[in-house]
Amino acid sequence: MTDEIPQQHKTEFQTGDEYLEDDSDGISEGDRLAALTTDDASAVLTLSRDTHGDAVENQQHIADAWDWYLGGHGKLADGETIDGTDVAMMMGLLKMSRAAVGEFDVDHLRDVCGYAAIGNACAVDRGDASESDLSEYHDPEEVEYHHRDTDH
C-alpha cells in the first residue's frame, strides 16, 4: 500500500493565513483521516442532489411536515415551529442514536457531518448566519452567535 493520498482525498487545511495540504508534514494522521470524512460527506451531499433535491428546501419541507404532525398532536405550543436547522440537528441525533444501540457503521458519522453542514446552510438561508461564517475559520471567542429564542 502506498503512502500517496489519492487526489480526490487531498484537502487543504487553513491555519491562520497559511494553507497546508493534508499530505504535508504539518498535518497529523488523525486530521487527515477526519478530512476524509468531511470530503466524503461533501461528496454525498452533492451526489444526493439528484435524488433528494436541494438540501435546504428538503429540510424545510420536512420541518413543515413535522410542524403539522407535532402541532396536530399537541406537542408544539401555539405559534411554535421548527425549522430546517432543527431537522438537521434531530437527524444527526437519530444517526448518533443508531450508532449507540447498533453496530458501528462509518456511515452514521459521515451522515452526522452532512447533517451539520445542511443545518448550517439552513441557518444561512434563514439569516442566522452568513456564507462567510461557513467559509472562513473563526476564533470561537470572536464569533457572535445567534440564538433564536433571544434574537427573533
Cell numbers 487553513: residue: 14
User: Looking at the 3D structure of the chain, how many domains does it have?
Assistant: 1
Q: Is residue 85, in this structure, part of any structural domain at all? A: yes
Q: Is residue 109, in this structure, part of any structural domain at all? A: yes
Cell numbers 452514521: residue: 108
- On whether the CB atoms of residues 41 and 114 are closer than 8 A, the answer is yes
Cell numbers 435524488: residue: 51
Q: Which domain holds residue 101?
A: 53-151
Q: Is residue 97, in this structure, part of any structural domain at all? A: yes
The mean pLDDT values, 10 residues at a time, for the chain of 152 residues are 40 42 64 77 69 88 96 94 96 92 87 90 92 74 57 43
Distance separating alpha carbons of residues 11 and 75, to the nearest angstrom: 43
**Quick one: pLDDT at residue 151?**
44
- On whether the CB atoms of residues 91 and 115 are closer than 8 A, the answer is yes
**pTM for the full model?**
0.67
